[in-house]
Amino acid sequence: MRYWWSLFIVFVLWSCATYYQTNYAFNAAFEQGQLDQALTTLQSRSSEGKGKAAFLYDVNNGLILSMKSRYQESNDYFEKAFLFGEDYRINYLNEVASYLTNPMFTVYKGEDHEHLLVPYYKALNYLKMGNIDDALVECRRMNIRLQQLSDRYTSNNKYRRDAFIHNLMGIIYDASHDYNNAFIAYRNAWEIYQEDYGRLFGVQAPSQLREDLLRTAWLTGLTAEFDRLRQEVGLPDYRYQAGSGGELVFFWHNGLAPVKSEWSINFFIERRGNQMIFFNEQLASLAQAGIALDGSVISINRKANSKYYQQKDITVSDIFAGRVKAPGPGTRELLEEISRATAAAPGGGAAGTAAGNGQSGTNPAAPAPARTFPMEDAHPGAEPR
């Protein structure tokens, strides 16, 4: 009997371990830029692809394969993750069990922003393969998901609109010379920055978005809208000038997603007369609940919530100064090459700022300017946890 009791305790303790803890070897290899080792470690646990963490297994595979330039294989995993989000159905029995014990007892369904990142990465993969049409399909998928979020959450204090995703949609439409849809996407992004991001996150619209919004308004022939927006975005002297050459769009995926862990409140029960006293040591709080005289009505309440632990971001200056290791082979060399190219451009300089700091650099006069876009901490790009 003692043997089985010991096994039960071990099982419960293992069940309480987070996904991050049980996949420590994978996360360690990934954070050190050892992508081959990370992929091998991840795929050695292939049973997770059919288990409760199937969504995370698929998106992590998709991310690693994308970083290794195996874009079609990456999209195969991301497509599985996308379909998971489309087909997911709640198992209410498991949900109750997770509420009474811990969230590891139920299927991880993914957060709203994580499901948005799936078509985002697929779109980037298609762009890297030179397939703009399929990238636009993923844009439409992102737009549908955004509309579903907006319909689901009515509170103005909830994350239900994503400016960066609309910005990306505008860039892809822009690349396909669909200036009308590009303008609509840029305008949506601008409105979200103005109405939501400044109030909720303290983040302002990047200068790149202001200029692209005005440029596509002009190219679409919306002259009245163009004149109005020049005042609204704070660029009253902006004039559209057709440039020569191309334009470099550089995305800096800064840091990892926050690690999710459990945060719970436990109450001790002490019976006093015809009532029970619930006392929580962490919060030093009391709660009372009436019971029947015979003591037959007893309820125990345990509330478990998610808590995020944000990991430290990596900046370009950290990599150049050697304070941290570059996240992946060739990253430092790529950043140095981009820095040299932008510095050599007319009126150039250090245009490549870290995306996580909410800044952007752009030089309309340069033949091939570099620009970066903010990736808000509320929904960073990398997924391993």
* Residue 319, pLDDT score: 59
Tell me if 123 is assigned to some domain.
Answer: no
Same domain, 370 and 315: yes
- Give pLDDT, residue 234: 92
Whether 10 is in a domain gets the answer no
Q: What is the dihedral of CA 210, 216, 222, 225, to 10 degrees?
A: -10
> Is the distance from CB of 30 to CB of 38 less than 8 angstroms?
yes
Q: Is residue 197 part of a domain?
A: no
User: What mean pLDDT do residues 339-354 have?
Assistant: 47
Examine the pLDDT at 231 and tell me if it is beyond 80.
yes
Q: What's residue 342's pLDDT?
A: 56
Residue 129 lies in a domain: no
pLDDT band at residue 105, thresholds of 50, 70 and 90? Answer: low
From CA 118, how far away is CA 56, in angstroms rounded? 11
Residue type, 224: A
Q: What is the mean pLDDT of residues 2-20?
A: 47
Look at residue 41 and tell me whether its pLDDT is greater than 80.
yes
The pLDDT assigned to 143 comes to: 83
* Angle of CA points 307, 156, 309, to nearest 5°: 15
Calculate what percentage of the chain has a pLDDT beyond 90: 26
pLDDT bucket at 203, cuts 50 / 70 / 90: confident
Verify that 365 and 271 share a domain, yes or no. Answer: no
Predicted confidence (pLDDT) per residue in 19-30, tens digit: 566 578 888 888
Residues 12, 17, 18, 24: is their CA dihedral positive or negative?
Answer: negative
Lowest mean pLDDT among 13-17, 178-182, 251-255: 13-17
Q: What are the tens digits of pLDDT across the range 58-78?
A: 999 999 999 999 999 999 999
* 294 found inside a domain: yes
pLDDT higher than threshold 50 for residue 374: no
- Count of structural domains within the chain: 2
Residue 116 has pLDDT above 50, yes or no: yes
Look at residue 229 and tell me if it is in a domain. Answer: no
- 222: tokens are 């919306």
Residues 292 and 385 reside in one and the same domain: no
Angle 65-381-355 from CA coordinates, rounded to 5°: 120
The CA distance from 379 to 113, in Å, is: 6
Secondary structure letter of residue 107 according to DSSP: -
Q: How confident is the model at residue 275 (pLDDT cuts 50, 70, 90)?
A: low
Same domain assignment for residues 263 and 384: no
Per-residue confidence (pLDDT) for residue 76, from 0 to 100: 96
**CB distance 75 to 43 below 8 Å:** no
Determine the structural domain holding residue 273 and report its residue range: 259-309
C-beta of residue 63 within 8 angstroms of C-beta of residue 26: no
Contacts of 283 (CB under 8 A, 6+ apart): 265
Residues contacting 44, CB < 8 A, separation 6+: none
pLDDT grade for 263, boundaries at 50, 70 and 90: low
Contact 360, 231 (CB under 8 A): no
Task: Look at residue 169 and tell me whether its pLDDT is greater than 70.
Answer: yes
Lowest mean pLDDT among 82-96, 133-147, 205-219: 82-96
pLDDT bin (cut points 50, 70, 90) of residue 200 is confident
Query: Is the dihedral angle over the CA atoms 8, 13, 18, 20 positive or is it negative?
Result: negative
Q: What average pLDDT does the structure give for the chain?
A: 71
CB 277 within 8 A of CB 288: yes
Q: How far apart are the first and last CA of the chain?
A: 37
Here the tokens at position 98 are: 């997770």
pLDDT per residue over 123-144, tens digit each? 999 999 999 889 989 988 988 8
Q: What pLDDT does residue 114 have?
A: 85
Q: Strands across the sheet with 285-290, in order?
A: 268-272, 275-280, 285-290
Question: Is the predicted pLDDT of residue 347 greater than 50, yes or no?
Answer: no
Lowest mean pLDDT among 137-141, 282-286, 327-331, 367-371: 367-371
Residues 328 and 250 in one domain: yes
With beta carbons less than 8 A apart as the criterion, state whether 173 and 185 touch: yes
Residue 174 lies inside a defined structural domain of this protein: no
Is the pLDDT at 284 greater than 90? The verdict is no
15 located within any domain: no
- Please indicate, yes or no, whether residues 360 and 304 belong to a single structural domain of this protein: no
The answer to whether residues 315 and 252 belong to one domain is yes
Do 372 and 298 lie in a common domain? no
Please give the Cα distance from 345 to 242 (Å, whole number).
Answer: 17
Q: Is pLDDT of 181 > 80?
A: yes
Per-residue pLDDT, averaged over 316-339, amounts to 61
pLDDT at 73: 96
Between 359 and 178, whose confidence is greater? Answer: 178
Q: Which of 270, 285, 309 is the last residue of a domain?
A: 309
Rounded to whole angstroms, what are the CA distances from 216 to 81, 162, 168?
Answer: 34, 20, 14
